[in-house]
Structure formats: structure tokens, C-alpha cells
């Protein structure tokens, strides 16, 4: 699938290709190295999960192998919201754990904002909800070793390819429009699904955009939890920045030519 660049004017299209600029929005896809997302660390978080489950009279899942990776957006003020998950296949496979995560989340109050250069920023925290551990009286809770998928050419290279697809399909030079993408990598290292979320890019066809991203060539090392390959959702946030060069070029081309008077 190839996106054609739609220019702001026919004259501009015939002379130059100046794209509106897409930048990474100020939402970190994961916490910076060494920063924790919960007061008291993972041990305290897991203790609270057990306490909340007892207080809310929750029941263990029938399938002991169920687990659900709960994605949470933590704001600079420490408030958090549950990130809607569109991976219906994984939800169906782990329905009990998913429903439990929705019941546990409102009672978790110890979220800690990520910081960049000393300033709090929005960031995504991932919490693995494992009912078999939450309801175990003897099993010691240890942090999961979670490794995200890795694109062979580098995740930055994949990010750049997605950015180029977005830029080349924009029709309007507008500031601060945002789009959130969820790229699902399968356990065998393939792009299983691409979901377009919370988009403000009205001119873009979501199905065509998803197909273009899904067609990006390359090899992935799948994500894993404790060494076991899993379906993993990579969250990507982009923001369109106003392109002053494009605007000046457009205005210059539209000015009347007074030569010869």
C-alpha cells in the first residue's frame, strides 16, 4: 500500500515536497530506566493487589495460566487512567484476568509520574495481572522479566518508517493534532495487528493507514515474559507540528507577480 502525498496547492505540489511535520508526542511509551511507576515499588504494588482482591471479594480464575498485561497512562500529577485495549483476541483468551484488572485498577492509588530532565511527564506503565499469583498464599511474588519486541533494524528505524507514512498522508498543515497507534507483535515475530486510536487526523483513512504500517518489511524478535514469547502491544504516540517552511512557501507561490508594471 503506497500513500500519495496530497499537497496544499497544485503549484506547490509540482515544485517542492515539504511535508507537515510529525513528532513524537510527549507521552513516554515506557518509564525511563531506573524509574519506578508505583510508590513502594513492585513489591508494594503486588501486596496491594492481594489486599484489594480480598477486600473486594474477588475470586480466582478457573484457568490458572491466565494473565493480562494492564496498560496504564500515568499523568504528571500522578493520576492514572486505564488504557483501552483493542486486542480482543488476547482479552478473550484471558477474559477472567482482564475483568479482574478492571476491578483492581480503580483502587490502586500509588502511581508515580515519570520524569524527564526533572519535570514530570506522561508515561505508560505496564502491570501484569496474574490471578494465580494474586490469590496464592504461599507463592512469593517476584517481578516479571518483560522484554519488549525488537525490530532487527532498530525500533527507532521502525518508528521513522511509521512517521514517514503518517507525514506523507497528511493533507493539512495544522499544529498539535495527535494520533495514537497500537502495533501488536505476535509470539512468532510478525505484525499481527495495527490499531489507530484517538486520532485527530481526519483526512487519513484508518484502514489504509493500518495496512501501510502492517506492510512494513523487516524481522522482529518477539516480546517475552520470563523468557516465554507473548503477544505484545507497542504503543506509539505522534503529534503533528505546524510546518512554517511549507506555509511560507505556499504564501510565496500565491502572491501576484507585479513584474512588468
83 and 112: one domain? yes
Take residue 135 and report the three cell numbers written for it: 490469590
Q: Please compute the mean of the pLDDT values over residues 150-161 and round it to a whole number.
A: 92
Quick one: cell of 226? 520470563
| Predicted pLDDT of residue 152 | 92
More confidently predicted of 72 and 4: 72
Q: What is the mean pLDDT of residues 141-166?
A: 86
* 192-217 pLDDT per residue, tens: 999 888 777 777 788 888 999 999 99
Which tens digits make up the pLDDT trace of 172-192? 666 668 888 889 999 999 999
Among 148, 153, 160, smallest CA distance to 234 is for 148
> Same structural domain for residues 158 and 222?
yes
**140 and 154 part of one domain:** no
125 or 259, greater pLDDT: 125
Output the pLDDT for position 94.
95
Grid cell at residue 231: 503477544
Contact 233, 184 (CB under 8 A): yes
pLDDT score at 219 = 93
For residues 24 and 156, is the Cβ–Cβ distance under 8 A? no
Q: What is the 3-state secondary structure (H, E, C) of 86-144?
A: CCHHHHHHCHHHHHHHHHHHHHCCCECCEEECCEEEEEEEEEEECHHHHCCCCCCCCCC
Do the Cβ atoms of 242 and 172 come closer than 8 Å?
A: no
Q: Tell me the chain's radius of gyration from C-alpha atoms.
A: 22
Contact between residue 29 and residue 125 where contact means Cβ atoms under 8 Å apart: no
Kindly report, residue by residue over 25-54, the tens digit of the pLDDT.
567 888 887 889 999 988 899 999 999 999
Asked if 153 and 138 sit in the same domain, the reply is no
Same domain? For 97 and 70 the reply is yes
Task: Mark which of 112, 144, 176 sits at the end of a domain.
Answer: 144
Same domain, 126 and 198: no
Domain count, the chain: 2
Domain that holds residue 166: 1-26+148-256
pLDDT for res 218: 93
pLDDT of 260 > 80? The answer is no
pLDDT of 249 > 80? The answer is no
Residue 261 domain flag? no
Do 138 and 177 lie in a common domain? no
Decide which of 144, 173, 192 is a domain's last residue.
144
Query: Cα(51)–Cα(44) distance, rounded to whole angstroms?
Result: 10
What is the distance between the alpha carbons of residues 170 and 202, in angstroms, rounded to a whole number? 9
Kindly report the backbone phi and psi dihedral angles of residue 122, in degrees, each rounded to the nearest multiple of 5, phi listed first. -75, 140
Do both 177 and 138 map to the same domain?
Answer: no
Sign of CA dihedral 224, 225, 229, 233: negative
CA distance 112 to 19: 37
Q: H/E element holding 124?
A: strand 119-129
Name which residue leads in pLDDT, 137 or 218: 218
pLDDT of residue 26: 65
pLDDT at 103 over 90: yes
**Is 161 in the same domain as 219?**
yes
Q: What is the pLDDT of residue 146?
A: 80
**pLDDT (mean) for 84-99:** 92
Amino acid at each position: 500500500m503506497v500513500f500519495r502525498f496530497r499537497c496544499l496547492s497544485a503549484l506547490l505540489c509540482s515544485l517542492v515536497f515539504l511535508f507537515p511535520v510529525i513528532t513524537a508526542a510527549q507521552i513516554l511509551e515506557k518509564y525511563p530506566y531506573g524509574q519506578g511507576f508505583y510508590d513502594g515499588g513492585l513489591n508494594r504494588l503486588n501486596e496491594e493487589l492481594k489486599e484489594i482482591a480480598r477486600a473486594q471479594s474477588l475470586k480466582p480464575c478457573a484457568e490458572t495460566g491466565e494473565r493480562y498485561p494492564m496498560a496504564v497512562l500515568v499523568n504528571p500529577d500522578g493520576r492514572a487512567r486505564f488504557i483501552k485495549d483493542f486486542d480482543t483476541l488476547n482479552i478473550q483468551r484471558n477474559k477472567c484476568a482482564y475483568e479482574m484488572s478492571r476491578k483492581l485498577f480503580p483502587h490502586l492509588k500509588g502511581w508515580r509520574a515519570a520524569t524527564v530532565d526533572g519535570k514530570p511527564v506522561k508515561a505508560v506503565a505496564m502491570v501484569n495481572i496474574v490471578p494465580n499469583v494474586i490469590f496464592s498464599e504461599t507463592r512469593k511474588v517476584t517481578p516479571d522479566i518483560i522484554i519488549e519486541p525488537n525490530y532487527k533494524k532498530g525500533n527507532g528505524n521502525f518508528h521513522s518508517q511509521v512517521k514517514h507514512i503518517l507525514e506523507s498522508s497528511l493533507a493539512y498543515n495544522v499544529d498539535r493534532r495527535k494520533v495514537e497507534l497500537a502495533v501488536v507483535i505476535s509470539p512468532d515475530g510478525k505484525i499481527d495487528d495495527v490499531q489507530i486510536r484517538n486520532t485527530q487526523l481526519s483526512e487519513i483513512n484508518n484502514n489504509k493507514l493500518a495496512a501501510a504500517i502492517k506492510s512494513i518489511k523487516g524481522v522482529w524478535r518477539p516480546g517475552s515474559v520470563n523468557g516465554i514469547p507473548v503477544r505484545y502491544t507497542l504503543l506509539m504516540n505522534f503529534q503533528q507540528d505546524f510546518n512554517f517552511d511549507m506555509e511560507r512557501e505556499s504564501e510565496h507561490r500565491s502572491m501576484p507577480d507585479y513584474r512588468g508594471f
